[in-house]
Structure 1
């Protein structure tokens, strides 16, 4: 199927964020590969887009004429940036435009652009002219000379920022230091892992399942790509001349989420997960639900013991049953929602609850034995005994539910 629509807009690739060796247009013989594909992700850049297309086109026409493409990926900007870009295509034949509706986010926009790209070398540059286009040729030369990845850096010779405030400098450096703590073997490979201006060989990320979060796509490339030789070129980050900054506090939260995801899915943890096919993301959701159940369990346990005055065993059983109901509801609508949505109706939900309850009640028996042993035999504080028992039973509940309750092995993730 052609990726060119009649209105000259690129069709948006769907499915996993995975780069194929050849895009559909080349596989079907509709287009020929080019040396270089540069992605320009945009959102509300109407005032900048014509300028950056003109500057980049002149630059690349002189160095690699007809052997490149500029791909603007616009997230359906309310100022209709995509429409302005589309109007430039007759004047700049190497320009291609994609309008995304439904998906949002800079990192995923870049990957969608790469999926449609025909270049053997892939790159990304901001659409607001804060990345100096002149550096592009140095990055391209570095990859042509053997680098797998060429990064424009603010932290090597010739690099810097123009007029950042102290707070912005502090946040930028703090984020980098935090990244080095989480992923020293990934972020430590470059001086500016926060850079959004870089080029890489297509082969380095072919058939990799990418899971970017937020707007720092370079983290994903470094964490999941087959990157060996890296080159860095200094550049000065400029203040934008037109439009408004897109950086908000939510971007910093996305950055933290991205670091955590890479930490859990790459390196030793990632290899463990692949080797044993361990559903880590699902386990973390199950654990978060279980954590909420701890407070429900302890709260009800306290009421039954201290206010109502029930005995230890009965309080343990009843508080655990209330927590089981809490945990089932959250697991059904969150942890296993991809499965439960295909098992609709009250009867199906009741059956899931009964299975979940049987498994967890077995855990309650185990928990009761542990609590009584720790409290009555070892003399451990009753609340500490309860916490220890809960921790043991959480592992039990997840493992058995994984195998029997929602039948996760029957669903392809």
Structure 2
């Protein structure tokens, strides 16, 4: 035991201390060493923009990062497996993938498990497999959630020139990887495992699930025809992509359909498709919910905006158009809350004009904060989930919006009394200016990413 601890700590003095300490202190120090070793085995989670570098992290990091060391062998292929409560499947998926890739790419690949801090401790079970599978790497995300962002964080930590993703529930047959890798070797920028080409299909889907899947694809063809029509199965979560095709692009996915984001924002020239049969789960529970269909619709709309004229103008001006449009939609909901609350308080409960107006305005501000925090700036809020930070954002939002109300009155008087603008036109102009004010100041102050571990 003493020899093992000394080896782990690389410190003879610490080993002697452990040997002479009381049993209680010995246990505390032993637990500390185990935790330190465990943390060393885990990949650090990248932060900041969801942007894949053109070179692996160990090439870009001149200072050196022990969590992302230089590999012993050149890595050609990095396969990310996003997980959440997949403890019952994790050993089987790692074993099957490792057997296939050990034969095809010995010492030239890595498996990256990216776990969203699963309650069943999938990350811990995966970490225990590293000694048996040396090409396995494990990342535990504690401040972000979502399949798409998990995949990108894994790619950010990856060493390979070819990046891939496969589900961790064994519904994607690992054997199809060989065909996907062969397609990439032949020059494809993107190789997609498809259920809708020769050799593809689903094992035992119900009629309703087939209808929803096809309906989602049809919706994508309507909203994003130039993107979705490029592949037969845009809903696939099983594909490989060349690093250079997406490197440098700031990705902004919603939900779990990462392929659409890659197609919409990446420099994808040649695409290959490989048929596969979608399998039923061997263990665990399905995570398909109605929320994921809503996220998919939101993702389509976001890509539609960013690829259209407004998106191009926003990129030219360095202005987040899609986020601003969401802020505007939330503002309209706040207007409805304001008017409804004012009517009830003033006309129904006779609360008084001034008090009714103040309470209604505050309710509208509260409504707007909730929706902006969860939707407009949801990606930033997820990085600051602590209650004190939520309260801090709300207080800032409240102050900024109150200043916006004052600014609205001042601008209205300026437009009408000084510039002789029609009162209704002046009111619209003041609302437009104040909306821009509220959005920009809140973006820079209320939802600024700070104090993130």
TM-score (norm 2): 0.73
User: 1:68 offset after TM fit, Å?
Assistant: 0.7
Is residue 2:116 matched to residue 1:68? no
* Partners of 1:159 and 1:344 in 2: CA distance: 51
Q: Partners of 2:136 and 2:348 in 1: how far apart? A: 72
Partners of 1:159 and 1:201 in 2: CA distance: 23
Alignment correspondent of 1:398: 435
1:90 aligned onto 2:120: no
Alpha-carbon distance in structure 2 between the residues aligned to 1:342 and 1:78: 24
Q: Aligned equivalents of 1:66 and 1:345: distance in 2?
A: 47
Deviation at 1:40, TM superposition (A): 1.0
1:30 to 2:67 alignment? no
Q: Deviations over 1:100-148 (max 9, x none)?
A: 2232211111111111110000001111111111111111111121111
Change (3 A) 1:346 1:124: closer
Distance (whole Å) between structure 2 residues aligned to residue 367 and residue 323 of structure 1: 26
Once the two structures are superposed, the pairs formed by residues 357-396 of structure 1 within 5 Å of their partners are 357-362=405-410, 394-396=431-433
Write the distance in 1 (CA, Å) between the matches of 2:243 and 2:395. 50
Cα 1:270/1:175, change in 2 over 3 Å: same
Can you list the C-alpha shifts for 1:40-95, whole angstroms capped at 9, x where unaligned? 11122222222222211121122221111111112222222222222222222111
Q: Is the 1:26–1:118 Cα contact (8 Å) retained in structure 2? A: no
**Where does residue 12 of structure 1 map in the other structure?**
45
For residue 163 of structure 1, report the CA deviation from its aligned partner.
0.5
1:6 deviates by 5.6
Alpha-carbon distance in 1 for matches of 2:347, 2:427: 17
Q: Deviations over 1:372-408 (max 9, x none)?
A: x99xxxxxxxxxx98x9876653343246668x7795
Partner of 2:286: 245
CA drift of 1:184 comes to 1.2
- Counting only pairs closer than 5 Å after superposition, residues 47-62 of structure 1 correspond to structure 2 as 47-62=88-103
The answer for unaligned runs of 5 or more in structure 2 is 1-36, 381-388
Q: Distance in 2 between matches of 1:394 and 1:104?
A: 35
CA distance in 1, matches of 2:119, 2:390: 36
Q: Indicate how the Cα distance of structure 1 residues 412 and 208 shifts in structure 2: closer, same or farther if over 3 A, else same.
A: farther
SS in 2 for 1:40: strand
Q: Distance in 1 between matches of 2:205 and 2:370?
A: 44
Structure 1 residues 229, 289: CA separation in 2 closer, same or farther (over 3 Å shift)? Answer: same
Instruction: Write the deviation string for residues 330-366 of structure 1: whole angstroms up to 9, x where unpaired.
Output: 667876999xx89979998897566423432256569
Tell me the residue number matched to 2:141.
100
- After TM superposition, the structure 1 = structure 2 runs for residues 150-161 of structure 1, keeping only pairs within 5 Å, are 150-161=191-202
- Within 5 A, what are the aligned runs for 1:4-403? 7-27=40-60, 28=64, 30-31=70-71, 32-280=73-321, 281-294=323-336, 296-297=338-339, 300=342, 352=400, 355-362=403-410, 394-399=431-436
1 CA distance for matches of 2:87 and 2:393?
Answer: 48
Output the CA distance in 1 between the equivalents of 2:340 and 2:95. 65
1:33 and 1:70 map into 2 onto residues whose CA distance is: 14
- The CA deviation string for residues 268-308 of structure 1, in whole angstroms up to 9 with x for no partner, is 33211111233421343144224431563477579989999
